[in-house]
């Protein structure tokens, strides 16, 4: 599935991320993370809340610099922003003052594409995410799921080689999440990009990804597990959950993840008491 002959799309080596908090204290979010995403590979990162999953994604995007260790994108050390990556944010990131169509077209326009052509292609992308009829709506007139679709089109129209997704379907309801998951797989199947997908939902991770990476509870979160998902593609998210292999893998990973989730809860309640 994944093309290993080519250099890894994303390669983190011993990446440690630390933030300076309140004076001289340093909070280490992620410690010595080693992670590589091959060309065309779909990797999901799962971990308890506040373990630094998003931090890792921001490092791959170039929005954060690791304190030590290296980040390589297609074998090139990353300096500045990752120009090969498209980033789908957890929070609403659409430009509220632009229509759905303009929001999607902007990625081409800033590259200097003629407006007519940009709008035409944007309309095409809106249609492929099922929002062809909503081109002239502003983000506040769309539902949460529809906004995510626009976001997906906004990112994909630039045809990035790497797709970074930060709990993109987190705020959506269960049904919408499944629909969005299937949409994502369908679009991804068309031209397999390298995907780094952060989620707290293990089921979602197994259903979508080729590989599931587990992180420990923070602070100083580490990568503690790495599983291949041997399920065949193309997959249907809602049906794959019924399969035996799915259950076996889920049980196996969950036995590891469970302890971390508990630790994560303990951590967050401790720090809440400290404050």
Partner 1 sequence: MSRPMLLLSQLLVAIVALALWQFLTSVPVFGRILLPPFFFSNPVDVAGQIVKWFSSGVIWKHLIITLWESILAFVIGSLAGVLVGFWFARQPRVAAVFDPYVKMVNALPRVVLAPIFTLWLGLGIWSKVALGVTLVFFIVFFNVYQGVKEVSNTVLDNGRMLGMNERQLMRHVYWPSALSWMFSSLHTSVGFAVVGAVVGEYLGSAAGLGYLIQQAEGVFDVAGVFAGMFVLSAFVILIDMGVTLVERRLLVWRPTAAEGRG
Q: Which stretches of the chain bind partner 1, using CB under 8 A?
A: 61, 63, 81-83, 85-87, 89, 91-99, 106-107, 110-111, 138-141, 143-144, 154-155, 158
Give me the least distance between CB of 256 and partner 1, in Å please. 31
Give me the least distance between CB of 248 and partner 1, in Å please. 37
Rounded distance between C-alpha atoms, residue 175 and residue 98, angstroms = 28
Cβ pair 246, 207 in contact under 8 A? yes
Strand order through the sheet with 42-46: 85-88, 162-166, 194-199, 42-46, 211-215, 223-228
Rounded distance between C-alpha atoms, residue 169 and residue 237, angstroms = 14
Q: Is the Cβ of residue 157 or residue 229 nearer to partner 1 in the bound state?
A: 157
Cβ pair 199, 191 in contact under 8 A? no
Strand order through the sheet with 76-77: 25-37, 10-21, 68-73, 76-77
Rounded distance between C-alpha atoms, residue 208 and residue 206, angstroms = 6
Give me the least distance between CB of 146 and partner 1, in Å please. 11
At 159, which helix (H) or strand (E)?
Answer: none
Rounded distance between C-alpha atoms, residue 264 and residue 215, angstroms = 11
Q: Is the Cβ of residue 50 or residue 62 nearer to partner 1 in the bound state?
A: 62
Give me the least distance between CB of 63 and partner 1, in Å please. 6
Q: Is the Cβ of residue 62 or residue 66 nearer to partner 1 in the bound state?
A: 62
Q: Is the Cβ of residue 59 or residue 155 nearer to partner 1 in the bound state?
A: 155
Residues 6+ apart with CB under 8 A from 97: 138
Give me the least distance between CB of 199 and partner 1, in Å please. 18
Q: Is the Cβ of residue 27 or residue 95 nearer to partner 1 in the bound state?
A: 95
Q: Is the Cβ of residue 144 or residue 230 nearer to partner 1 in the bound state?
A: 144
Give me the least distance between CB of 138 and partner 1, in Å please. 4
């Amino acid at each position: 599935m994944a093309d290993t002959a080519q250099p890894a799309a994303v390669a983190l080596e011993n990446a440690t991320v630390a933030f300076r908090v309140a004076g001289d204290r340093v909070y280490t979010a992620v410690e010595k993370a080693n992670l590589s995403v091959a060309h065309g590979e779909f990797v999901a990162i799962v971990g308890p809340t506040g373990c630094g999953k998003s931090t890792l994604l921001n490092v791959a995007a170039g929005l954060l610099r690791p304190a030590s260790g290296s980040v390589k994108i297609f074998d090139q050390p990353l300096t500045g922003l990752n120009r090969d990556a498209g980033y789908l944010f957890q929070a609403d990131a659409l430009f509220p003052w632009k229509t759905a169509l303009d929001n999607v077209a902007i990625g081409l326009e800033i590259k200097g594409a003629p407006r007519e052509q940009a709008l035409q292609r944007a309309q095409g992308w809106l249609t492929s995410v099922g929002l062809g009829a909503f081109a002239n709506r502003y983000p506040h007139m769309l539902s949460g799921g529809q906004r995510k679709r626009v976001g997906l089109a906004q990112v994909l129209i630039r045809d990035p080689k790497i797709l970074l997704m930060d709990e993109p379907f987190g705020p959506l309801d269960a049904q919408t999440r499944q629909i969005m998951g299937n949409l994502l797989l369908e679009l991804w199947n068309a031209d397999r990009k390298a995907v780094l997908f952060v989620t707290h939902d293990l089921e979602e991770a197994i259903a979508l990804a080729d590989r599931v990476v587990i992180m420990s509870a923070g602070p100083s979160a580490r990568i503690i597990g790495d599983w291949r998902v041997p399920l065949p593609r193309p997959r249907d998210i809602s049906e794959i959950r019924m399969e035996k292999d799915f259950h076996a893998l889920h049980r196996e990973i969950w036995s590891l993840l469970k302890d971390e989730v508990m630790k994560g809860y303990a951590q967050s309640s401790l720090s809440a008491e400290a404050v």
